Amino acid sequence: MKGTKNKSITDKPKDFKNNLKKLLQYLKPYYIRIIIILIMSLISTIFTVLSPKILGDIITNIYNNIQNHKTIDLINFKDLIIILIIIYLLSSLFRFIMGFLMSKITANITYRLRSQISEKLNKLPLKYFDNNSSGDILSKITNDVDTITSNIDTIITEIFSSFITIVGIFIMMIKISGWMTLTAVATLPISVILIFLIASKSQKHFDNQQKNIGKLTGYITETYSAHNIVKVYNGEEKSIETFNNINNQLKDSSFKSEFYSGLMMPIIKVIGNFGYVIIVLLGGFLAVKGRINIGDIPAFIQYVRKFNHPILSIASTTSLIQAIVASAERVLNLLEEPEEEPNKLNKKIDHVKGKIEFKKINFGYQKDINVIKDFNVVIKPGTKVAIVGPTGAGKTTIVNLLMRFYELNSGKILIDGVDIKEMEKSYLRSLIGMVLQDTWIFNGTIKENIAYGKLDACDNDIIDAAKLSYADHFINTLPNGYNMIIDQEVSNISAGEKQLLTIARTFLSNPKILILDEATSSIDTRSEILITKAFEKLMKNKTTFVIAHRLSTIKNADMIIVMDQGKIVEIGKHEELLAKRKFYYNLYNSQFDLTN
């Protein structure tokens, strides 16, 4: 048993501080740019802080002129107006430059993260993909990376500018009136306490939201890639029910995370509005007493609004940080997954003959549960070996172990006397060619798909491989022939044609050892006869493993290994095994309904 595909959404709580530190390491190469951005943010913030005071002075001068029955001449205020315009223009220019630099930084971080994930996925053992759905992995590459990079620029600029704004505005408010400042600041502790209470409450819901997005993406990917199967078995209702269950979980976690984070703004605004009323009353009283200028009241109200804005910004930024760290944890956990162990030795075989020995092989996908038990067999060079048995007997597992997709619990596998653990995996796999029941064709031309077996192959080699696999005929009937592009869903060629292309790919690679896992299962009877002949040519002087459920296809095998529950129960040729009238005989009878 390889494990479950869907992880629980209630994993252990994240190490917030540690994950945040790791995430900040991605900003290290851009420290100089970030310092420039922060300097510009500082200057822009100073301009923002000065503008209300200048406007207040203009209002005071206009009010004094009205009080003294003087004509209002805007020329007298031209210096203040010009300064104000310059401040606004420079502030806008700096913010534009900041946005440009941050866009470059986030684009580079996005590229780096996705490149690292791509490299990591190629280094992970196969068991990782057994235990994680493809949709969840896809969600980490797309949704989680987007969540990190689309918000990180806001975090950097907003937090810094908000703190500077708070300090600058506080100083300007003190200069206008200490009493009014005390009144405005009195509401601050209440706001801060509420922010942290709400943030701590919403953190787990942001984490669940990201996990449910991955779960939903995985289900959609797996279901809609096989929508025809769903329809054949009338599984639409069940599919919709499962989708709705996952979608409801996502809705619930999304609602709770957005609800709690959405509480911050209204609560702080309500508290701020009470403050405005008191400030206006107090400001009017102080202006009447002559302790402040009349223009200081609207200036102070602007400062209070600007003072509340960075507090609100920090509140919303807190929610963003939670979402970013929740996504960062998922991405960083993927990047920290243990990789396939590199080989210390790099042994190679001078002239590969193809002798393969399995010595006391024991293996299990889970600890203490072996699915292959004491597997022993010696296969001579050039032997055609068929591995048969009921579903779950361990047939495919054996060839996966030969390819080192998984590591043995105990025992050895030797090729021409060399332990495969002493070979580099890339070298080992270059000796082996596989044709599987499940075809893999990518979006590209037919030529590119065949050439995947040998990336430096010339056109003539590709065409020869296609002819050997009997794919050349159908390829030439297609629009653009070998240059026809297979669409992303691989819907413009049939299942049998896809199988022919994968067989052509194997012909092209010309491996020393062959593995055919139900290789002709998607081919019609006429094509199967032709391909069987082609395989006979390809298998000549090559050690070949044939995994088959249809026992009629392996009658001519030099050796038939009969497996049941991870053990070898019989070995021999077709006629010999039938004569023994044991497990193979019963298996054969169950397919062909033979009588004594």
CATH number for the domain that contains residue 248: 1.20.1560.10
Report the pLDDT value the prediction gives residue 419, as an integer from 0 to 100. Answer: 92
Record the pTM.
Answer: 0.66
Residue 4 domain flag: no
Dihedral angle of Cα 312, 316, 318, 324, to the nearest 10 degrees: -160
**Are 359 and 322 members of one domain?**
no
Q: Report the 10 Å Cβ neighbour count for 107.
A: 11
Report the pLDDT value the prediction gives residue 259, as an integer from 0 to 100. Answer: 80
**Are 423 and 445 members of one domain?**
no
Q: What's the domain range around 496?
A: 438-510
C-beta separation of 312 from 273 below 8 A: no
Does the pLDDT value for residue 5 go beyond 60? no
Please tell me the total count of domains within the chain: 3
**Structure tokens given for 538:** 């390809």
Does the pLDDT value for residue 2 go beyond 60? no
C-beta separation of 213 from 135 below 8 A: no
Region for 175 from its dihedrals, namely left if φ exceeds 0, alpha if ψ lies in -120 to 50, beta otherwise: alpha
Q: Which of 147-161, 336-350, 352-366, 513-527 has the lowest mean pLDDT?
A: 513-527
**Are 159 and 73 members of one domain?**
yes
Average pLDDT over residues 491-510: 81
Of 470, 554, 481, the residue nearest 507 (C-alpha): 470
List, for residues 401-443, the tens digit of each pLDDT value. 998 888 888 999 999 999 999 998 888 988 988 887 777 788 8
Residue 19 domain flag: no
- Give the span between the Cα atoms of 456 and 2, in whole angstroms: 36
571: confidence class by pLDDT, cuts 50, 70, 90: very high
**Are 482 and 581 members of one domain?**
no
Residue scoring higher pLDDT (578 or 79): 578
Q: Report the 10 Å Cβ neighbour count for 407.
A: 12
**Are 69 and 101 members of one domain?**
yes
Residue 346 domain flag: no
Domain C-terminal end among 461, 490, 510: 510
**Are 286 and 373 members of one domain?**
no
Residue 496 burial by Cβ neighbours in a 10 Å radius (0-12, 13-18, 19+): middle
Residue 177 domain flag: yes
Report the pLDDT value the prediction gives residue 4, as an integer from 0 to 100. Answer: 36
Report the pLDDT value the prediction gives residue 377, as an integer from 0 to 100. Answer: 92
Q: Coil, strand, or helix at residue 215? A: helix
Estimate to the nearest angstrom the gap between the alpha carbon of 151 and the chain centroid.
Answer: 17
Which residues sit opposite 378 in a β-bridge? 357
- Give the span between the Cα atoms of 193 and 455, in whole angstroms: 62
- What is the share, in percent, of the chain residues with pLDDT greater than 90? 8
**Are 462 and 399 members of one domain?**
no
Phi, psi values for residue 549, rounded to 5°: -95, -30
Domain C-terminal end among 491, 510, 529: 510
Report the pLDDT value the prediction gives residue 595, as an integer from 0 to 100. Answer: 41
Of 443, 403, 395, the residue nearest 420 (C-alpha): 403
Q: Coil, strand, or helix at residue 493? A: coil
498: confidence class by pLDDT, cuts 50, 70, 90: confident
Residue 581 domain flag: yes
What DSSP designation does 479 have? T
CA distances (Å), origin 170, targets 116, 166, 305, 316: 44, 6, 12, 21
Strand (E) or helix (H) holding 567? strand 567-572
HSE (side-chain half, CA atoms, 13 Å) at 442? 9
Domain C-terminal end among 335, 362, 391: 335
390: confidence class by pLDDT, cuts 50, 70, 90: confident
- Give the span between the Cα atoms of 34 and 157, in whole angstroms: 9
C-beta separation of 227 from 138 below 8 A: no
Report the pLDDT value the prediction gives residue 522, as an integer from 0 to 100. Answer: 56
Average pLDDT of the residues of the chain: 80
**Are 177 and 265 members of one domain?**
yes
Residue 525 domain flag: no
- Give the span between the Cα atoms of 539 and 416, in whole angstroms: 18
Evaluate the CA torsion angle 131, 135, 139, 142 in order and state its sign.
Answer: positive
Of 83, 74, 75, 77, the residue nearest 51 (C-alpha): 83
C-beta separation of 417 from 355 below 8 A: yes
Strand (E) or helix (H) holding 517? strand 513-517
**Are 419 and 460 members of one domain?**
no
List, for residues 102-153, the tens digit of each pLDDT value. 888 888 988 999 899 988 988 888 888 888 877 788 888 888 888 888 888 7
> How many residues in total does the chain contain?
596
Q: Which of 47-61, 77-91, 186-200, 492-506 has the lowest mean pLDDT?
A: 186-200
**Are 446 and 412 members of one domain?**
no
DSSP 433-461: EEE-SS----SEEHHHHHHTTSTT--HHH
**Are 181 and 278 members of one domain?**
yes
First-to-last CA distance in the chain? 37
Report the pLDDT value the prediction gives residue 559, as an integer from 0 to 100. Answer: 92
| Pairing mode, strands 444-445 and 485-486 | antiparallel
- Give the span between the Cα atoms of 562 and 593, in whole angstroms: 19
Does the pLDDT value for residue 239 go beyond 60? yes
**Structure tokens given for 441:** 């064709």
DSSP 493-512: S-HHHHHHHHHHHHHHH--S
Residue 481 domain flag: yes
C-beta separation of 495 from 440 below 8 A: no
Residue 538 domain flag: no
List, for residues 448-462, the tens digit of each pLDDT value. 989 988 888 899 999
Residue scoring higher pLDDT (291 or 563): 563
Q: Measured over all CA atoms, what is the biggest interatomic distance in the chain, rounded to whole angstroms? A: 126
CA distances (Å), origin 133, targets 136, 228, 334, 436, 466: 5, 20, 13, 21, 34
Q: Report the 10 Å Cβ neighbour count for 262.
A: 15
- Give the span between the Cα atoms of 540 and 129, in whole angstroms: 35
User: What CATH number should be reported for the domain holding residue 453?
Assistant: 3.40.50.300
**Structure tokens given for 218:** 């995985």
**Are 266 and 381 members of one domain?**
no
DSSP 403-428: TTSS--SEEEEEETTEEGGGS-HHHH
Report the pLDDT value the prediction gives residue 519, as an integer from 0 to 100. Answer: 66
